[in-house]
Amino acid sequence: MRAVDIIEKKRDGKILSDEEIKFLLKNYLKGSIPDYQISAFLMAVYFKGMSDEELKSFTTEMINSGDIIDFKGTHKFLVDKHSTGGVGDKTTIALAPVLGALGMGTAKLSGKGLGHTGGTIDKFESIKGFKFSETREELIKLVNETGIGIMGYSDKIVPMDKKLYSLRDVTGTVSSIPLIASSIMSKKLAVHADAIILDVKVGSGAFMKTFEEAKKLAETMYKLGKLFHRNIVCMLSNMDEPLGYAVGNSLEVIEAIETLKGRGPKKFQDLIVKLSAQALKMKGDVKTLEEGIIIVEEVISSGRALTNLKKFIQASGGNPEICEDYSLLEVAKEVTPYLATEDGYISHIAADEIGRAAMMLGAGRATKDDIIDHSVGLVMKAKIGSYVKKGDTVLNFYHKGNLTENIVEVVKSALKYSKEKVQEKEIILEIIGG
């Protein structure tokens, strides 16, 4: 078998066999097929796509390139909720304690983030003393006690993805639906969870900017999940504005805690409740989402979900008192409002630009070696559909004296106003397989 023949076959739109895909990826991982041939192959996939069978073979090889994680020793129904990422996405911090209080477990690998703010790991690390489980035994113990099982990504899981993604990044092939789907799903399928819930974000702050693109990706990932016989649901959710109000690590932790107290932003609360209700449905505890919603609302209003978060923080070395006294979290002292420049309804918020402003304040990493400042960020005071008068506060910057003209300009250019009333979008746009 020769790599060039396989590349030509794909280029000409023919279907590759399992053996051909295996040959290409195995030898690439070993170093016996060079980057330039795999680059050409990725470009051929970009233009010709992949059949279901090819996608399954490709994803199988990705999964088999590394370790498989199981949570043997836990006796819970394990849920892996994954979001494709967006601005102000603090979902896991609120969702995992709710699932735990419902008797389920989170089985999740989380990364340190690149971009506007940190990832889930960085967000939890804004709690002084907090440390994630480093051993499997610690993790299993925590899952059994609290239902919250989150650990850092290891390079040993799907190492092929890292290698391929670096190449895609410099060859214009990141935005191929089968390549994105296999990249995300291989990492999900390498972890043994009982249910996979994918939250595919759509909009200006998301990887997928349009509903059509996001739906195509969600359908492909759903199909892959089914091809691997997994219990999977994909939700499409709106990311045309930051999720909730807070963007920044400590600020987002506070907002997630407020949500567990029933005082969170309405749409974020709605997302948490529906994701949790969906998990109950996948477990088979309820028949409809509506039944699940009633149970989830009770678990939040009774304070059980918050108590569970406190237990998790304590067991992870943090002070659970932060849930009652936010001054125990590091939040930047300098607060500067950004004021509306005209009267009108907020009609557009370029969420990615709002995220960029938070990153420029120090909340996120531009490169993987940057150090995050957990205390900085911003909190929106107006969202799409809000009516503001010129001079009203649209958001507050939390900073350390480093708020530059540049950052203010980024926010200014992110906002549009309209004289006409603006319709708000629902947070959940569609559910596939629910």
Positions touching ligand URA (CB under 6 A) are 165, 180, 183-184, 207
Residue 255 CB, nearest approach to ligand URA (Å): 24
Q: Would you list the DSSP string of 135-161? A: SHHHHHHHHHHHSEEEEE--TTSSHHH
Integer angstrom CA distances of residue 84 from 40, 89, 98, 204, 234: 26, 10, 20, 13, 11
Coil vs helix vs strand at 310: helix
The answer to whether 347 is a known catalytic residue is: no
Q: Closest separation between CB of residue 366 and ligand URA, Å?
A: 18
Q: Which of 10, 56, 81, 82 is catalytic?
A: 82
Q: Confirm whether 168 is a catalytic residue.
A: yes
Q: How far is the CB of 206 from ligand URA (least distance, A)?
A: 10
With CA atoms as reference, report the closest residue to 214 among 344, 84, 307: 84
**Between 184 and 340, whose beta carbon lies closer to ligand URA?**
184
Active-site position among 80, 89, 122, 161 = 161
Separation of CA 322 from chain center = 24
For the question of residue 356 being annotated catalytic, the response is no
| Cβ partners under 8 Å of residue 212, min gap 6 | none
Distance of CA 42 to the CA centre of its chain: 25
Residue nearest to ligand URA (CB): 183
Question: Smaller CB distance to ligand URA: residue 24 or 379?
Answer: 24
Describe the chain by its helix, strand, coil percentages, rounded to 5.
45, 15, 35
The tokens describing 195, both together, are: 């249910």
Pick the catalytic residue from 48, 187, 223, 267: 187
Nearer to ligand URA, 29 or 305 (CB): 29
Q: Is 319 helix (H, G, I), strand (E, B) or coil?
A: coil
Report the interhelical angle of 351-361 vs 405-414 (nearest 10°): 170
Amino acid sitting at position 227: L
CB neighbour list of residue 172: distance below 8 Å, 6 or more residues apart: 43, 46
Closer to ligand URA by CB, 76 or 188: give it. 188
Among 183, 186, 237, 276, which one carries the catalytic annotation?
Answer: 183
Taking the CB of residue 418, how many other CB atoms lie within 10 A of it?
Answer: 14
| Residue 130 vs 207, nearer CB to ligand URA | 207
- Shortest distance (Å) from residue 168 CB to ligand URA: 7
When the beta carbons of 187 and 383 are compared against ligand URA, the nearer one is 187
Residue among 76, 116, 123, 168 flagged as catalytic: 168
CB of 82 to ligand URA, least distance (A): 9
CB of 207 or CB of 268, closer to ligand URA: 207
290 — phi, psi (to 5°)?
-60, -45
**Contact of 93 with 124, CB cutoff 8 Å:** yes
Asked about 187 being catalytic, the answer comes back as: yes
Tokens found for residue 105: 């477990």
- 296's enclosing H/E stretch is helix 289-301
C-beta closer to ligand URA: residue 100 or 178? 178
d(CA 390, CA 397): 18
Least Å distance between CB 83 and ligand URA?
10
Residue type, 388: V
Residue 429 CB, shortest distance to ligand URA, in Å, is 19
Residue 421's contacts (CB-CB under 8 Å, 6 or more residues apart) are 345, 385
Angstrom distance (rounded) from CA 433 to CA 195: 12
Residue 428 to residue 309: CA distance in whole angstroms: 25
Residues noted as catalytic: 82, 161, 168, 183, 187
